[in-house]
A and B are shown apart, each in its own frame.
Chain A
Amino acid sequence: MGSRASTLLREEEIEEIKKETGFSHSQITRLYSRFTSLDKGENGTLSREDFQRIPELAINPLGDRIINAFFPEGEDQVNFRGFMRTLAHFRPIEDNEKSKNPTASEPLNSRTNKLLFAFRLYDLDRDDKISRDELLQVLRMMVGVNISDEQLGSIADRTIQEADTNGDNSISFNEFIKVLEKVDVEQKMSIRFLH
């Protein structure tokens, strides 16, 4: 049975989400339908199990970290607002947005915020630094059992060496931005939502 999308999502809520995330009306209703189809418990929130039920996400080596990014600090459920807020990071950057009101707070899908999202995938303890251990953890998730500890350790060391400019043996957010300045973040961290 299809979900009763429009009836359960009030107009005011849609307007608020529109303002906060920049998605269009039809995109919000479609994503709401997706949200409800994932919500097997039908209680208006998603749990980690709901995400893990998606096979393509379950086989993604960074699947667990990505799922984590949706849940606010210490919580186990995410509601639709939180869901949209996280997805907003992946909205493509449109040209007309760049010239908009410069004093308004940065949109969720700005380059900096996209980089912050990626940074947080590494930085599990949220201390604004990627330590050697945290880097190793992510590397281990991505390569599985195929690379030895020593090799992985030397990869991690080399990466920190290249990125670290202030010598504290960890990568801060600014150093992270510097390393990635040549990468086309806008394109690589964007999903083309259809209207």
Chain B
Amino acid sequence: MNCFFSCKRLRKTGTLPPVFCSAELQSPGNVLPNFLTLIISLCMLPFFSLNLSNLECISEWATLRMELGAKEKNQELYKPYTNGIIAKEPPSSLQQEIQELRGSANSLRSEPEFEMADIFYFCRRGVESIVDDEVTKRFSAQELKSWNLLTRSNYNFRHISLRLTVLWGLGILIRYGVLLPLRVTLAVTGICLLLVLTTLVAFLPNAELRSYLSEKVHLMCYRICVRALTAIITYHNRENKPKNGGICVANHTTPIDVIILANDGCYSLVGQVHGGLMGMVQRAMVKSSSHIWFERSEVKDRHLVAKRLGDHVADKTKQPILVFPEGTCINNTSVMMFKKGSFEIGCTVYPVAIKYDPRFGDAFWNSSKFGMVSYLLRMMSSWAIVCSVWYLPPMNREEGEDAVQFANRVKAAIAAQGGLVDLIWDGGLKRAKVKDVFKEEQQKLYSKVLVGDSEDQMEDKRSEDGTPEGDESSKDPAEGQ
């Protein structure tokens, strides 16, 4: 309860809020755009400081209060299953498990052997996956341990106490009444500035001056957008930042990933040509710096895509390309299969790991539930978007390594850095059905157990764990949804 009394209201301080200090580059060449951004932001946001540690304190108090309230009424509080519903057996191969099932030592019989107990293995695995599987939970927002005063992440929404409701009401007032309008204004300013300034820069005759200015313009506009979202970003290992002539790959959680990365450096974006406002922005951006936009029909043509990317990286004056090889947004608890297209080009790959802190606002875009506009509104009415970006050391494809293995190596490095689960499943399973070939693999493995696997034992060691291998579908370079 002490916590509550000390955090009774959000502290307003006269110092510059952390929102401004975090993402500033201190090099002298960036003084002008920094200064401009600062002026504009200062005009927009008065001395209002969102002190994050206070918010954490309040959210823990809120959860405690809900637990007490539930105990008073002799009810149990629903706790999200952050620790899992079931304890899964450590993964072992299909053959091992079936041998165990059969128990006896006569596995060397020459005749094919079937036991009725064999189905127990499949049965249990099947029901385990019904109760808790690795894939479907990656496509919806992560569940939080303590409530952060946003209705959208509340699982016990009922009237517990007046104080809690008042606090929640106050939260709503601040978020929708104060933060949202300011942020929307900033965002609109940022986009307009981007459109206007890039068009202006495109008119300059001198190519060098043009590229220099376009860099500054892009950086400034992205910084304004970052303020518009109140994104508090911590960049780690800046010395590994992607350089020209390479490809930057990152895990994909939301379209905002682009803004977060482009805030700290200039990238060439890859994607599908859109209509409407997005299309205008795309056309404006292309005027002053080179980006790779594909027509919808061209996306399917793998060779065309590979060629354009290859040409771009070959030109050392062009900025590094930003690609999200997962192809779709995942909820930031795991990294799913990387499509191998970007790894076939043969240039240096700069992996980047992005991890969002879900306590202040969940950044994941659930595209089957929310459209772009409602997603952006939700983003701008959260407390803040807090994330960490790690630049990993550049990687190259090694001798004797094919594109899929290289992609998996990069994926493992990103997952390890970001504290994410490394999955082999395809992010496309969000919408598509799993391919039959994986079931056929399972059937093949079982047949080997039945019929005996003396001649195939060596070959099978590789695929013995029974999990599906990477998907061989066509590359999708577009920033997926």
Query: Which residues of A are in contact with B by a Cβ distance under 8 Å?
Result: 1-7, 11, 25-27, 29-31, 33-34, 37-38, 51-63, 66, 87, 90, 117-118, 121-122, 138-139, 142-147, 151, 155, 158-159, 163, 171, 176, 179-180, 182-185, 188-194
Contacts and interface: CB of A to CB of B under 8 A. Distances in A.
A193 B155 contact: no
Interface of A is mostly: helix
Contacts of B137: 37
Interface string B36-63: 0000000000000000000000000000
Interface string B5-35: 0000000000000000000000000000000
B166 interface: no
Q: Which of B77, B116, B438 has the largest number of chain A CB atoms within 10 A?
A: B116
Interface in B428-481: 429, 433-434, 438-444, 446-448, 450-451, 468
A118 B120 CA distance: 7
B140 interface: yes
Interface size class of B (residues with CB under 8 A): 35 or more
B418 to A, nearest CB: 23
B130 interface: yes
15 contacts: A30-B78, A33-B80, A54-B136, A60-B126, A118-B123, A139-B114, A142-B118, A143-B446, A143-B447, A147-B112, A159-B116, A180-B117, A182-B103, A188-B124, A193-B85
B135 interface: yes
Given A33-B80, A90-B124, A147-B447, A55 B434 contact: yes
Contacts of B67: none
A182 B85 CA distance: 30
Interface of B: 75-81, 83-87, 101, 103, 112, 114, 116-137, 140-141, 143, 152-158, 369, 425, 429, 433-434, 438-444, 446-448, 450-451, 468
A30 B123 contact: no
Contacts of A147: 112, 447, 450-451
Nearest to A70: B130
Contact of A60 (B83, B101, B129, B143): B129
A15 B281 CA distance: 57
Nearest to A11: B75
A143 B158 CA distance: 52
Contact of B76 (A26, A54, A183, A190): A26
A1 B152 CA distance: 6
Contacts of A182: 103
B133 A60 contact: no
Given A58-B434, A194-B87, 13 more contacts: A29-B76, A53-B136, A59-B434, A61-B442, A121-B123, A144-B440, A151-B112, A179-B116, A188-B101, A188-B121, A189-B120, A190-B124, A191-B128
B114 A180 contact: no
Given A6-B155, A56-B134, A142 B443 contact: yes
A178 to B, nearest CB: 11
B446 A61 contact: yes
A99 to B, nearest CB: 25
Contacts of B78: 5-6, 29-30, 33
Nearest to B158: A7
A29 B84 CA distance: 13
Contacts of A122: 116, 119
A73 to B, nearest CB: 20
A5 B76 CA distance: 11
A147 to B, nearest CB: 5
Contacts of B154: 2
A191 B127 contact: yes
B135 A66 contact: no
Given A147-B451, A192-B86, A155 B114 contact: yes
A66 B126 contact: yes
Contacts of A117: 123
Contacts of B118: 142
Contact of A142 (B77, B122, B135): B122
Contact of A191 (B86, B136, B434, B439): B86
Contacts of A193: 85-86, 131
Contact of B439 (A6, A59, A66, A90): A59
Q: Which 6 A-B pairs have the closest CB atoms?
A: A144-B443, A146-B447, A56-B129, A66-B126, A192-B87, A59-B438
Nearest to B466: A59
Contacts of A54: 129-130, 133, 135-136
A185 to B, nearest CB: 7
Contacts of B141: 1-2
Contacts of A59: 434, 438-439, 441-442, 468
B119 A118 contact: yes
Nearest to A147: B447
A37 to B, nearest CB: 7
A62 B129 contact: no
Contacts of A27: 85
Nearest to A189: B120
B446 A142 contact: yes
Nearest to A142: B446
B73 to A, nearest CB: 10
Nearest to A139: B114
The residue among A6, A155, A185 with the most chain B CB atoms within 10 A of its own CB is: A6
